[in-house]
Amino acid sequence: MFSPIAAVTSIRRSAPVFRSASKRRSRKPVAAFSVLAVSAASAVLLRMRYLHWGASTAERTEVLAGDELLPDADQIATRAITINAAAEAIWPWLVQLGQGRGGFYSYTWLENLVPKEDIHNADRIVPAWQQISVGAEVRLHPEVKLRVAIAQPAAALVLVGAVPMGKTAPPYKFSWAFVLLPLPDGTTRLVVRERYHYTHRWAALIVQPAQLVSSLMSPKMLHGIKTRVERRPSSGGSDIAGLVQRCSTEGSGLRAAASDGAAGSS
């Protein structure tokens, strides 16, 4: 026989079970949200790490040589390393960057994945590669060239350009800066900055994967430069400084001669 008292008692006894099940169901969205929040935070931290490897907060926000070339950059990556040497000792290794020259001091096997790349990373300073000036070409590939926009000896080397997609023009503009910041203790911070300005909205589909590759190659390159510079005998510092000075002087002489020649022809 149905009893109202028995029914109420039964409901009261079963109520906690329903509340418990409800709580379990309510926890599922909370747990899912927590997982998403942690994943998003991890993605942001990972992205910050691969975009700004080794760079301090101040270096990430500092205005560097070449920034003015692409003031409205859509993507910026700043990476850095401390090298136990003066800027004059590091500069010759930067000057000879490029395919067909000193290479990029990174993973040779990765640099040569593209057919006909033929990149060889130099382990010594080659005098024949020490002349560089604004307007000169630095090759990434035999058919892909960047142009020197800034060349300040022992201070900054900035390259500009982009990688075309076959016969299609690149959907972005690119600058690649190598900046030397001397520290009071005689060491130097080598700060490398990549800036991308998208000329098409879909450019991010190319740049973002490229940045993942750069996150592998750039730290290796920085370590490669550091290792090469620091293993040189300390007594060679004056020789390197002299080489930098000669290159700078000769470059100024060539520019002056060209200027005089232009004036004479006019």
Total-model pTM: 0.71
135: in domain = yes
245: in domain = yes
177: in domain = yes
Of the pLDDT bands very low, low, confident and very high (cuts 50, 70, 90), residue 137 is: very high
- Residue whose pair of structure tokens reads 């309510």 in the numeric block: 26
Predicted pLDDT at 141: 84
33: in domain = no
Identify which has the larger pLDDT, 78 or 251. 78
| pLDDT digits 0-9 by tens, 36-91 | 333 333 334 445 566 999 999 999 999 999 999 999 999 999 999 999 999 999 99
Task: Sheet with 156-161: list strands edge to edge.
Answer: 75-83, 188-198, 172-182, 156-161, 144-152, 137-141
Q: Which residues constitute the domain of residue 181?
A: 57-252
204: in domain = yes
C-beta separation of 135 from 155 below 8 A: no
CATH for 153? 3.30.530.20
Question: What are the residues facing 145 on neighbouring strands?
Answer: 139
**Average pLDDT of span 21-46:** 45
Question: What are the residues facing 138 on neighbouring strands?
Answer: 146
| pLDDT digits 0-9 by tens, 139-171 | 988 888 999 999 999 999 999 998 887 788 899
- Residue whose pair of structure tokens reads 């100024």 in the numeric block: 252
Distance CA 149, CA 76 (A): 18
Q: Which two tokens stand for residue 137?
A: 């070409």
Q: What's the mean pLDDT when you consider all of the chain?
A: 77
Of the pLDDT bands very low, low, confident and very high (cuts 50, 70, 90), residue 235 is: very low
CB under 8 Å to 106, separation ≥6 — which residues? Answer: 121, 217, 218, 220, 221, 224
Predicted pLDDT at 113: 64
Q: Element (H or E) spanning 196, and its range? A: strand 188-198
195: in domain = yes
pLDDT at 32 exceeding the cut of 60: no
**Average pLDDT of span 183-187:** 98
- Residue whose pair of structure tokens reads 């002087």 in the numeric block: 249
10: in domain = no
155: in domain = yes
What domain count does the chain have?
Answer: 1
User: Alpha helix locations (H) across 52-77?
Assistant: 57-61
